[in-house]
A and B are shown apart, each in its own frame.
Chain A
Amino acid sequence: MLRGYIARRLMVVVPMLLLISFATFSMMHLAPGGLSAVFIGARVRLEEDRIAIMRHYGLDQPFHIRYFRWLGRVLEGDLGHSLRFRRPALDMIVERIPATLQLTIPSIIVSVAVAIPVGVLSALRQYSVADNLATVGAFLFVSTPSFFLGIVAILIFSVGLGWLPISGMSTFGLRDPTMLTLIVDRLRHLVIPGGIVLGLGYTAGLLRYVRGSMLEVLRQEYIRTARAKGLSERVVIYKHALRNSLLPVVTILGMWVPYILGGSMIAEVISAWPGMGRLAVDAVFGRDYPLVMGTLLLAASMTLVGNLLADVSYSLLDPRIRYE
């Protein structure tokens, strides 16, 4: 049954990837300011020049033929060349992925490590001072735009106190760097974009969720049964309640998969972090459409695959899930 479920999910992924590619291609080619307009350029006035350029790039072909030709090239790993940098778009994007992952993965891990214990304790001591602090704090951070958190943090910790670097990924010209100083330097650069801009929002959102889920479980019959059996409070909480309350949390984490690649754009822009998000923003400003198209296509495809992995691992974790 499980294997069937995974196979069915896999079978949905291929048509979805095709749909993603078609949606991306159509957007780029049908929009008024889209690819053909850029290729031709505003200065070409003569009709025959225009037609010649269109023919040169194959833009005179019918839409579906252009789509399938493009798709064929994409499947061979050719996303076209950046108009500004004259380099393969795929290379430029792949180069940026490690920086993005270095930003998002630690911030997600730290958020989970903070939010789960705090959320559980908050639920166990509902309406205590600590619970109120955590709940109100989470509410405040969920409501704050992430760029604002970044600006405030830079003003306080970088401009005001001088504790943290203002931007970038590492310090230029560190004198005789050892492995340790390099790691410390990278971590110092990570605090604002990773810890504050991304991390606080993630932590706040997850904390609210963990607390709600734990409260929900504590109200269940089987918890009362466990207590009635005379089990110690420790066993009731940590064995019976905690495990069941964390299952829905896993779903939420699965929904976070897209953030690993696509959620750090604002943080990257604020801290001049050379990741994929900043590449996409720069490409949009430079009207570098092959690059824009490439980032969109890659981000969406990887999100889809990530979601698939999350779904499958969730179905392995929770046998109650319905295999429809």
Chain B
Amino acid sequence: MSERRRSLMSGGSSQWRRFGRNQRAVAGGLLVLAFILAALLAPWLTPHDPIRSNIPRRLESPSRDHLMGTDSLGRDMFARILQGGRISLMIGLLAVAVALGIGVGLGALAGYYGKLLDSAIMRFVDLLLAFPTLYLYITLVALVGPNIGVLILIMGGLGWTGMARIVRAEFLKLRTQDYVEAARALGSGDNRIIFRHILPNAMAPVIVATTLGIPGMILGESALSFLGLGVLPPQMSWGSLVNDGMPFFRTAWWLPIFPGLAIFLCVLSFNFLGDGLRDALDPRLKS
């Protein structure tokens, strides 16, 4: 098969080439991969224990032995940031997964069936959007009690409105297309049309929104944990490490700075990756 024919037949290859030419996007993707690997391999990347205290060596500034210094109980900050990254990434990914499930489901229902179901779902979206995010989060966390599962459910359970709007818009656009009419004329039921015909064609914006949703969730978790209403000791996330460091930050600058930098770099990588995916998958949206 000639080179030209192959590229014509596999629709994805031009998109991959577009993505590969975007240096920022590739760098973002590689960094995301590095963060995920670091989270998976955390215990093997440092000899130090993230939880056992070592009071005689408390509040030491960064050194060869303690790359990112030690905290107020003498624990190695590098080990704690690796461990915190596991939690922050896990919460970010799972919260997005929850939001993805709800958002795609409700967005598809609203866009496909329209009418009363659509207005009911969209009014519910309006209701959720009326509450300022952090006010709602801290109230719910206070009522249910902060723990990792609660954070995932709250952020995912409330953070699906953008996804629902995107999916709804795609369904509104696609459901009147000729090929959908054709499928219906051939006797396809609603389920088949939704899952086999429309959803696959709506995947590009969903993939982009998911990728760009992860940094949003990581920032949300870090804000809650920074306030002291997210991940609590003995567990740790990047946000809670910043919170732990606040009483000492005027002298021990490394306590909030390194976990803060970790959040920043991780969020930046996901944003680069998501932006690159958007440019590659949906050139119309290219900015």
Which A residues have a C-beta under 8 Å from some C-beta of B?
16, 19-20, 23, 27-28, 31-34, 139-140, 142-148, 151-152, 154-155, 159, 208, 211-212, 215, 258-259, 261-263, 265-266, 269, 277, 280-281, 284-285, 287, 292-293, 295-296, 299-301, 303-304, 307
Contacts and interface: CB of A to CB of B under 8 A. Distances in A.
A152 B250 contact: no
Contacts of A280: 135, 138-139
A142 B271 contact: yes
A296 B143 contact: no
B143 A34 contact: yes
B128 to A, nearest CB: 9
A23 B158 CA distance: 13
A31 B127 CA distance: 19
B131 A145 contact: no
A16 B229 contact: no
Nearest to A139: B271
Given A143-B264, A151-B257, A269-B227, A32 B143 contact: yes
Interface stretch (B57-65, B105-113, B185-193, B215-223): B215-223
9 contacts: A19-B123, A147-B223, A154-B249, A265-B134, A269-B227, A284-B229, A292-B142, A296-B139, A299-B135
A151 B131 contact: no
Contacts of B140: 27, 31
Contacts of B229: 281, 284
B131 A296 contact: yes
B200 interface: no
Contacts of B264: 140, 143-145, 148
Contacts of A27: 139-140, 143
A304 B126 CA distance: 9
Contacts of A266: 134, 223, 226-227
B126 A16 contact: yes
A300 B142 contact: no
Contacts of B219: 145
B132 A300 contact: yes
Interface of B: 123, 126-127, 129-136, 138-145, 215, 219, 222-223, 226-229, 239, 242, 246, 249-250, 253, 256-257, 260-261, 263-264, 267-268, 271-272, 287
Contact of B138 (A263, A284, A307): A284
A139 B62 CA distance: 29
B271 A31 contact: no
Given A27-B143, A31-B144, A281-B138, A152 B132 contact: no
Nearest to A159: B250
Given A23-B127, A27-B139, A281-B138, A145 B227 contact: no
Contacts of A139: 268, 271-272
Given A159-B250, A285-B228, A303 B131 contact: yes
Contacts of A211: 287
Given A33-B144, A143-B268, A148 B256 contact: yes
Contacts of B123: 16, 19
A295 B135 contact: yes
Nearest to A285: B228
Contacts of B136: 296
Given A33-B143, A139-B268, A148-B264, A265 B135 contact: yes
Contact of B242 (A23, A151, A287, A292): A151
Contact of A32 (B144, B227, B256, B267): B144
Contact of A215 (B130, B226, B227, B287): B287
A263 B264 CA distance: 20
Greatest chain B CB density within 10 A among A20, A140, A147, A265 is at: A147
Given A139-B268, A145-B223, A293-B139, 5 more contacts: A143-B264, A145-B263, A154-B249, A284-B138, A296-B136
A292 B129 CA distance: 18
B134 A31 contact: no
Contacts of A144: 264, 267
A146 B131 CA distance: 20
A308 to B, nearest CB: 10
A142 B263 CA distance: 12
Contacts of B226: 145, 147, 266
A67 to B, nearest CB: 16
A291 to B, nearest CB: 11
A55 to B, nearest CB: 24
Contacts of B272: 139
A155 B253 contact: yes
